[in-house]
Structure 1
Amino acid sequence: MSEVLQVGNKTIESGEIPVLLKQYGLWGQFLRGVVIDEAIAEISLSEEESRRAVEEWRLQNKLGSIEDRDAWLTNQGLTIEQMEEMILRPLRLEKFKQAKWHPKADLYFIERKQSFDQVVYSLLRTQDQGLAWELYYRIQQGEMSFAECARQYSKGPESQTGGLLGPVALSQPHPQIGKMLSVSQPGKLWRPQALAEWFIIIRLEKYLPAKLDDAMRRRLVEEMHETWLQEQVQLISKSQTVESPAPSKPL
């Protein structure tokens, strides 16, 4: 087995590297890098894109002069080619993501829209079923406002805000609450519902539907890419068996 790296007094052989990556918690990150390298292998940048990216990176890192750049390369143990690859890799990855996922954003948005929609709602909770019904009728008949009831009687942190919560994604509250809100119109006051050890009263205040704007498209592209990347890493991990190398026999 050939020696590949000397770190202090430790000689690291090729067969040890996967084991060490796992021990150091870097195996997954390493596989992500491998998958990305394969994905962007055919992605190219124009000369102008490359030149501008390298120039901006050098300015950001205060490496404007050749001397500063060379000193940095020496300190990092990199060649000019390796430095440029490090700089251009994120740009090539971004091109890959846009080419692969941007055309699928519209359909993905439709499929996932409900989880992106946001709501503002009021919540009151108590463990006393009788009190829950009494407060419900007080709110319904206008004897007390929802905020007053929540401040005085709600047993959760929402009492500090008069029961008002949000805006939050519709997928964030408890699934039972999310389902109630998803079929509500603003102003809908729900009768007390049992939820775990609580009796809750819910009222939808605002429904804020998600919009497929540029910011949402970027979010969708990132989400689809990350899901795909994790799937690829898992497939590779399942097919790889990393074992500690057998100790060398003494001479």
Structure 2
Amino acid sequence: MNTPSTHDFSPVLSLGSQLLAAADVLPLLRRYGMLPALVKELIIDQVTADIALTPEQSAQAIEAFLRTNQVTSPEQRQNFLAQRGITEADLVFFAERAQKLQQHKLDAWGAKVESYFLQRKSNLDRVLYSLIRTREAGLAQELFFRIQDDGQPFADLARQYSEGQEAQTGGLIGPVELSVPHPTLARILSISQPGQLWPPTRVGEWFVVVRLEKFLPARLDEATRQRLLDELFNTWLLEQVQATLRENSPTADE
């Protein structure tokens, strides 16, 4: 009996006149930077493989998957499958997989969310603040005194003098998380009381006059809990992907 040669060409994909063999796939994935995405999906398959769903959970997962993808009719369902080149069985697989992944996240990191929240809280707190920025130190000082001593409206001066997009909103920015503003500005806001006006401060190329309007402390509600759960999982997943790519790099055995 003839055995297949290691050089046999078994095409797995046809693109016009181009035929791709199985041996071509991995180098192409690596060349076009798609290998990390494949490794990520394979790792997710591994961690969800042993999680079982009840028929009710499966039905709920499919319903949630279709709702997320805005598929609300049989026609849209067929178009969804055709556009992605997947079958009905694939749709069920992806829907159940998403539910299983959520369960895996809860099993692995659910008990750690509260302590992680406490670590992250200072960056999750939100602030609403007013800002005037200018490259002229003297102008910034003048505007500060016009607000503090003369009682001129911050919003009016921001619209007239601020050199950033905040001029369009009368200097008002937010609410935004404290991780969003420049670190110098974030430190000022984090120790401010509502209504507190700060003298001009150098922030990069700007001189800024800032006033905290409202402080909105972060709370561990369901949306925040899910966000932090996703963060913990994604951090772990990235580490696993990077370790796998290192182990399987072309130079790993050199």
Query: Would you call these one fold, judging by a TM-score over 0.5?
Result: yes
Q: Distance in 1 between matches of 2:151 and 2:63?
A: 68
The answer for the alignment partner of 1:248 in structure 2 is: none
Are the structure 2 counterparts of residues 31 and 143 from structure 1 closer, same or farther at C-alpha, using a change threshold of 3 Å?
Answer: same
Q: Distance in 2 between matches of 1:164 and 1:181?
A: 14
Q: Is the 8 A contact 2:134 2:207 kept in 1?
A: yes
Q: Does 1:226 align with 2:247?
A: no
The answer for the alignment partner of 1:194 in structure 2 is: 202
Are the structure 2 counterparts of residues 55 and 194 from structure 1 closer, same or farther at C-alpha, using a change threshold of 3 Å?
Answer: closer
1:23-102 matched pairs, under 5 angstroms: 23-50=31-58, 53=61, 60=72, 62=74, 80=89, 84-102=92-110
* TM-score, scaled relative to structure 2: 0.81
Q: Does 1:13 align with 2:21?
A: yes
Are the structure 2 counterparts of residues 195 and 29 from structure 1 closer, same or farther at C-alpha, using a change threshold of 3 Å?
Answer: same
Question: Which ranges of structure 1 fall in alignment gaps of 5 or more residues?
Answer: 244-251
* TM-score, scaled relative to structure 1: 0.82
Q: Secondary structure at the match of 1:200?
A: strand
Report the Cα offset of residue 108 of structure 1.
0.8
RMSD: 2.8
The answer for the alignment partner of 1:247 in structure 2 is: none
Report the Cα offset of residue 213 of structure 1.
0.8
The answer for the alignment partner of 1:139 in structure 2 is: 147
Report the Cα offset of residue 48 of structure 1.
3.5
Deviation string, structure 1 residues 154-203 (Cα, Å, up to 9, x no partner): 22221222111111111101111011101111111111112222211111
Q: Distance in 1 between matches of 2:64 and 2:132?
A: 53
Q: Secondary structure at the match of 1:192?
A: strand
Tell me which amino acid in the other structure corresponds to 2:214: K
Q: Is the 8 A contact 2:159 2:167 kept in 1?
A: yes
* Aligned-residue identity in percent: 40
Q: Is the 8 A contact 1:18 1:242 kept in 2?
A: no
Q: Distance in 1 between matches of 2:176 and 2:62?
A: 40
Deviation string, structure 1 residues 212-251 (Cα, Å, up to 9, x no partner): 11111111111211221112111111211249xxxxxxxx
Q: Is the 8 A contact 2:200 2:209 kept in 1?
A: yes
Question: Which ranges of structure 2 fall in alignment gaps of 5 or more residues?
Answer: 1-5
Deviation string, structure 1 residues 126-177 (Cα, Å, up to 9, x no partner): 2222222122112111341211221222222212221111111111011110
The answer for the alignment partner of 2:184 in structure 1 is: 176
Q: Distance in 2 between matches of 1:153 and 1:76?
A: 55
